[in-house]
Amino acid sequence: MFTKILIANRGEIAVRISRACRDLGISPIGVYSEPDAGAVHVGLSDEAICIGPAASVQSYLNISNIINAAKATGAEAIHPGYGFLAENADFAKAVEEAGLTFIGPGPVAMQTMGSKTGARRAAVEAGVPIVPGTVEPLRSLAEAERTAHEFGYPVMVKASAGGGGKGMRLVESSEELRSAFDNAKSEAAAAFGDDSLYLEKAVERPRHIEIQVFADTHGNIVHLGERECSIQRRHQKVIEECPSPINESGLRDRMGAAAVKLARAVNYVGAGTVEFLVADATRDFYFLEMNTRLQVEHPVTELVTGIDLVREQITVASGAPLSFSQDEVRWHGHAIECRVYAEDPDNNFFPSPGTISYLRVPSGPGIRDDSGVEENSEVSIHYDPLISKLAAWGRTRSEAIDRLRRALDEYEVGGIRTTLPFFRAVVRDEEFRSGKLDTGFISRFNARRDGARATESGKQDPEGRLQEDLALIAAALHFVRLQRRATGAGLPAADNQSRWKMGGRAALHDGRSLIGGGSKGLRDK
Ligand code: MV4
């Protein structure tokens, strides 16, 4: 077994991995960017190495600095967490070439699944159903027109290098195809440096259900059941559950068997997730993509199966067989997780960076909060604004929701806006409680929650793209100001008023300050 593991990540997932290391008697080694020197994950490490300045490309994505940090501290293995380098096959290769163990699948399985068309071909070869469509990148608009006609509209145009919805367009009719094709192509080129696209028939009102798989180096492959991830906003999951509230008998076994078959076909090792779309009407399921990492939402599976996925990742990477067999996996009760983001739900989920001036974290029966922050933590615009994952377990879905509601009401975060008020409304929503979830839930919920405003902005900006652009512009302006300040260049006088100033005072809409004074009434609650 390893004596030291370097954790190549930050925030709540670095904390989570550090805890698994401690449980195994392994020394966790941290890495951090300059502004993260005082971060929670650093304090929980035995040693920590600075790997560069704030920008991720220079720190958490800096392969050589991370490998040098592992060598300098004598770590034998590197856990990448999720995001950053977690699905970068070149990183996995570089780690192995440095004589270290990469805690994850081999680079070949990673590369196969990294190409969405390659993943579709692997699924076809393994006999796993895919959404009807192309399995090679489209060579031209003419080919897109031909195949769309062949499979029938509506279709989805997706980026081969994508995943998670980036570079994806829904196309309802042939008239819309050209612009969707062009837009998806440039979005894919900008996001992935690869503009190749493929095409799928659109599944209407789908549910998004994923299967957790686990494989060891001895040929054992098991599944740990499903997670329901249909509640998404702009292709970002916001609430995840295990089991799926609408799982019917037999579906878990069939989807689990398909996921294991696919993992076996690519010689998978470690934790992986196979995503499926499930058609509402027929309950047919189709392979979507496979994520070759530990996922954000892994705690709901842990709460229901009692299996520590991160511990198992580490023991499997050290060469040990899986600590359980498929027959020993049991699903007990129900778990639901909310992703608590530093975003303002009353302002189209604009990022809300700043200092956490006050924090009260809920606990009690059935509650788990995986957090990466504490009082006085800085939430930076440089990184993902996820501050914690609040999960509730109950014997039934209804009991889990009751506990989640209680925990959300207990939770207080001062100094920044968070998505907590949004979740407090969701757990009180009748449709959510009924469990009839599909991918249209969020837009129906938003319409119910703020009918007037939703219809008003919906007319001009049905997808909220204008709002999204404004958020990007605000973030870019903020970044320019930071750069100017760093280089000593003159700052606009208005900067004192900016809501986006890092380490500055987050202002309310009416100009009141959210921090300072510690007044309870000004917290996000
Ligand atoms: C789809 C789809 C319908 N048909 N693919 C893929 C990535 C995910 N974030 C969104 N994806 C979708 N792919 C086909 N062929 C519908 C979606 C989709 C969706 C899926 C799950 C949860 C929410 C969603 C919201 C919009 C679209």
Give me ligand 1 centre to Cα 399, in Å.
29
Q: Tell me: cis bond preceding 245? Omega within 30 of 0 counts.
A: no
Residue 152 is predicted with a pLDDT of 96
Best of 187, 201, 239, 277 for a ligand 1 pocket test (most atoms within 8 Å of beta carbon): 277
Q: Can you state the percent helix, strand and coil of the chain, rounding each to 5?
A: 40, 25, 40
Name which residue leads in pLDDT, 254 or 248: 254
Whether residue 208 has its Cβ less than 6 Å from ligand 1:
yes
Encoded tokens for 364: 């009690």
- pTM of the entire structure? 0.87
Contacts of 489 (CB under 8 A, 6+ apart): none
Lowest mean pLDDT among 41-50, 415-424, 463-472: 463-472
Return the half-sphere exposure (C-beta side, CA atoms, 13 A cut-off) of residue 181. Answer: 19
Task: Name 106's Cβ contacts closer than 8 Å, sequence gap at least 6.
Answer: 92, 267, 269
pLDDT at 236 over 50: yes
Which atom of ligand 1 is closest in space to residue 201's alpha carbon? 15
What local confidence, expressed as pLDDT, does residue 13 receive? 98
Q: Using pLDDT thresholds of 50, 70 and 90, give the confidence band for residue 508.
A: very low
- The CA distance from 358 to 98, in Å, is 43
Q: Is the Cβ–Cβ distance between 500 and 475 less than 8 Å?
A: yes
| Confidence category of residue 515, pLDDT binned at 50, 70, 90 | very low
Look up residue 91 and give its amino acid: F
In this structure, how many other beta carbons lie within 10 angstroms of the beta carbon of residue 135? 16
Cβ of residue 146 lying under 6 Å from some atom of ligand 1: no
CA of 370 to the centre of ligand 1 (A): 27
pLDDT at 439 over 90: no
Closest protein CA for atom 5 of ligand 1: 202
Q: State pLDDT tens for residues 168-226.
A: 999 999 999 999 999 999 999 999 999 999 999 999 889 999 999 999 999 999 999 99
Cα–Cα distance between 134 and 116 in angstroms, integer?
11
CA angle 330, 335, 336 (to 5 degrees): 150
165 CA from centroid of ligand 1 (Å): 7
- 241 class by beta-carbon count within 10 Å (0-12 exposed, 13-18 middle, 19+ buried): buried
Give the strand pairing for 221-233 and 236-242: antiparallel
Cα-based torsion angle of the residue sequence 165, 167, 168, 173 in order, rounded to the nearest 10 degrees = 170
CA of 397 to the centre of ligand 1 (A): 25
Which are the contacts of 50, defined by CB distance < 8 A and separation ≥ 6? 31, 32, 33, 34, 37
Among 236, 288, 295, which residue has the most ligand 1 atoms within 8 Å of its CB, making it the best to mutate?
A: 288
- Structure token digits, residue 47: 């040693």
Rounded to whole angstroms, the Cα distance separating 346 from 445 reads: 14
Q: Judge whether 241 and 303 are in contact, CB under 8 Å.
A: no
For the CA of 204, the closest atom of ligand 1 is 3
Strand partners, 214: 222, 271
Per-residue pLDDT tens digits for 100-122:
999 999 999 999 999 999 999 99
What's the token pair of residue 347? 């302002």
Distances in Å between the alpha carbon of 165 and those of 85, 185, 233, 444, 463?
19, 13, 11, 20, 14
Write the residue with the smallest CA distance to atom 21 of ligand 1.
Answer: 208
**What CA–CA distance (Å, rounded) separates 88 from 103?**
12
pLDDT at 467: 57
pLDDT average, residue stretch 452-474 = 54
Two tokens at 336?
């639901």
* 156 CB near ligand 1 (under 6 Å): yes
379 lines ligand 1 (CB under 6 A): no
- 155 CA closest ligand 1 atom index: 15
| Cβ count near 183 (within 10 Å) | 13
CA 353 to chain centre: 19
Find the catalytic residue in 227, 293, 339, 417.
293
Contacts of 448 (CB under 8 A, 6+ apart): 429, 431
pLDDT interval class at 491 (50, 70, 90): very low
Longest Cα–Cα distance of the chain, Å, equals 66
> 341 phi and psi, to 5 degrees?
-110, 150
Measure 437 CA to ligand 1 centroid, in angstroms: 14
Please indicate whether residue 120 is annotated as part of the active site: no
Tell me how far apart the alpha carbons of residues 485 and 199 are, in angstroms, rounded to a whole number: 46
